[in-house]
Amino acid sequence: MSRKERRVRVDLADRSYDIAIGEGLTGRLGELALEAGVGTSSNCLVVTDDNVAKTGHLRRAVDSLQRSGYKVFEAIIPAGEESKNLRKAELLYDKAFEAGLDRKSAIFALGGGVVGDLAGFVAATYMRGIVFIQVPTTLLAHDSSVGGKVAVNHPKGKNVIGAFHQPKLVVYDISALNTLPEREIRSGLAEVIKHGLIWDADFYEWLESSTDRIKALDPQIMEDLLARSCSIKAAVVAQDEKENGLRAILNFGHTLGHAIESLSKYGTYTHGEAISIGMAFASEMSAEFGRINRDSVERICGLLERIGLPTEVPLDLDPKELLNSMKQDKKATGGNLTFVLLSEIGRVEVVKNIDEAKVLDLLCRLGRKSV
């Protein structure tokens, strides 16, 4: 007998939705979408990438939707961050027209954060916004599928062309992790660790003590981990949907992380790897500004490294270019740097007008390069 899935609610008044978490949920996607009120009268589009399409996930999703009466079209994009751009968005608009999508249609984003952000952006803009459903297939996408940030990249920076468009439902099938490469598992754990660091010291300690079982992808552990991590994201988003204040804490590690991704042309580091380096750097900065002690920095870098994530500022990236890229971060106003810094493990603060000379100095010291 199938076990009932776990549910985490994202409370956003008339835009509230559930995150359903459990094993084998892709095979029940149609039933779950119907239950969430996604209509079957108009055609729908399932967007995925060519890696996910090679696994059984796409077939299971489409079969389930068809069994529930949905008329399904498919769009497959090339896998990878390089696809998160306006040209691919335009190809998806073409697909949407070919599939006859109208205002009552829905887009299902089946994949990692790239598919979710891109398909979500298309759903937010096609005919001024249609329903979309997130069906995350990476560990990292437990974060990207929740909260409604949808975007594409621009040569000037990550996610700078985007919108807030909440999904109607998130269906997280834990079984999808079985086909995910180990590197992507580690990458996803970076965002999980972030959620512990910014919000919940107990969760962070639990992660420290459960590393081996997490690495073994024990299904019960993964269900608990996802439910706790999604609950933190949901709690933050519910309090500040459009990032007027609090939500910026979810950007811990991203100021440097996004600069690393952008300067390395999105080809060297996964998102999780880049923000792992960014979190190690933000922890060092927090210590430099006397907010936390060295033991906490060692503890944080220790966990990231035990997971197999990088913590060192890349030697091949120029500190001045990193600094300039960070000044274009969406949190920066008037060219002044904003960083999310730790006050203790489990608590952070958004700090504006950070002294850029100090950041440059630390970048040079940690990257072991002189200016």
Ligand X SMILES: O=C(O)C(=O)C[C@@H](O)[C@H](O)[C@H](O)COP(=O)(O)O
Ligand Y SMILES: NC(=O)c1ccc[n+]([C@@H]2O[C@H](COP(=O)([O-])OP(=O)(O)OC[C@H]3O[C@@H](n4cnc5c(N)ncnc54)[C@H](O)[C@@H]3O)[C@@H](O)[C@H]2O)c1
Residues that bind ligand Y (CB under 6 A): 49, 51-52, 55, 57, 79-81, 84, 111-115, 117, 137-138, 140-141, 143-144, 147, 149, 158-159, 176, 179-180, 184, 187, 191, 270-271
Quote the CA–CA distance of 333 and 244 in Å, as a whole number: 13
8, 250, 260, 309: which one binds ligand X (CB under 6 A): 250
Q: Give the total of residues touching ligand X (CB under 6 A).
A: 12
Binding span for ligand X by CB under 6 A among 43-51, 143-151, 261-269, 300-308 = 143-151
Q: Is 35 marked active-site? A: no
The answer to the question of whether 113 is labelled as a binding residue is: yes
Pick from 172, 297, 166, 165: which is nearest to 227 by CA? Answer: 172
**Closest to ligand Y by CB, 255 or 270:** 270
Quote the CA–CA distance of 351 and 236 in Å, as a whole number: 18
Q: Is 243 marked active-site? A: yes
Is the distance from CB of 135 to CB of 33 less than 8 angstroms?
A: no
> To 5 degrees, how large is the angle CA 3–CA 6–CA 10?
155
Residue among 81, 184, 223, 243 flagged as catalytic: 243
Amino acid at site 31: E
* DSSP states of 41-84: SS-EEEEEEHHHHHSSHHHHHHHHHHHTT--EEEEEEPSSGGG-
Question: For tokens 């807030």, what's the residue?
Answer: 164
Q: Is 271 marked active-site? A: yes
Quote the CA–CA distance of 290 and 218 in Å, as a whole number: 38
Q: Is 320 marked active-site? A: no
For residue 235, the minimal CB distance to ligand Y (Å) is 15
Per DSSP (E only), the strands in 129-239 are 131-136, 149-154, 157-164, 169-173
Torsion of CA 9, 171, 100, 50, to 10 degrees: 140
Per-residue contact flags (x/-) with ligand X for residues 280 to 319, judged by CB under 6 A: ----------------------------------------
330 binds, among ligand X, ligand Y, none (CB under 5 to 8 A by kind): ligand X
The answer to the question of whether 129 is labelled as a binding residue is: no
**Closest to ligand X by CB, 11 or 212:** 11
251 binds, among ligand X, ligand Y, none (CB under 5 to 8 A by kind): ligand X
Is the distance from CB of 338 to CB of 288 less than 8 angstroms?
A: no
Q: Is 3 marked active-site? A: no
105, 251, 276, 325: which one binds ligand X (CB under 6 A): 251
81 binds, among ligand Y, ligand X, none (CB under 5 to 8 A by kind): ligand Y
Binding span for ligand X by CB under 6 A among 169-177, 197-205, 214-222, 250-258 = 250-258
Distances (CA, A) of 298 to 97, 275, 292, 293, 295: 53, 17, 11, 9, 5
Q: Which residues touch 247 (CB under 8 Å, ≥6 apart)?
A: 147, 236, 237, 239, 240, 241
Is the distance from CB of 131 to CB of 158 less than 8 angstroms?
A: no
136, 254, 266, 301: which one binds ligand X (CB under 6 A): 254
Quote the CA–CA distance of 279 and 312 in Å, as a whole number: 10
Per-residue contact flags (x/-) with ligand X for residues 319 to 338, judged by CB under 6 A: -----------x--------
**Closest to ligand X by CB, 36 or 230:** 230
Quote the CA–CA distance of 352 and 66 in Å, as a whole number: 50
Binding span for ligand X by CB under 6 A among 13-21, 209-217, 245-253, 284-292 = 245-253
Other beta carbons within 10 Å of 4:
8
The answer to the question of whether 137 is labelled as a binding residue is: yes
For residue 89, the minimal CB distance to ligand Y (Å) is 13
Per-residue contact flags (x/-) with ligand X for residues 179 to 198, judged by CB under 6 A: ------------x-------
The residue ranges that bind ligand X (CB under 6 A) are 143, 147, 149, 158-159, 191, 243, 247, 250-251, 254, 330
Binding site residues, as ranges? Answer: 113-117, 137-138, 149, 158, 191, 254, 271
Question: Catalytic residue positions?
Answer: 128, 149, 191, 233, 243, 247, 251, 254, 258, 271
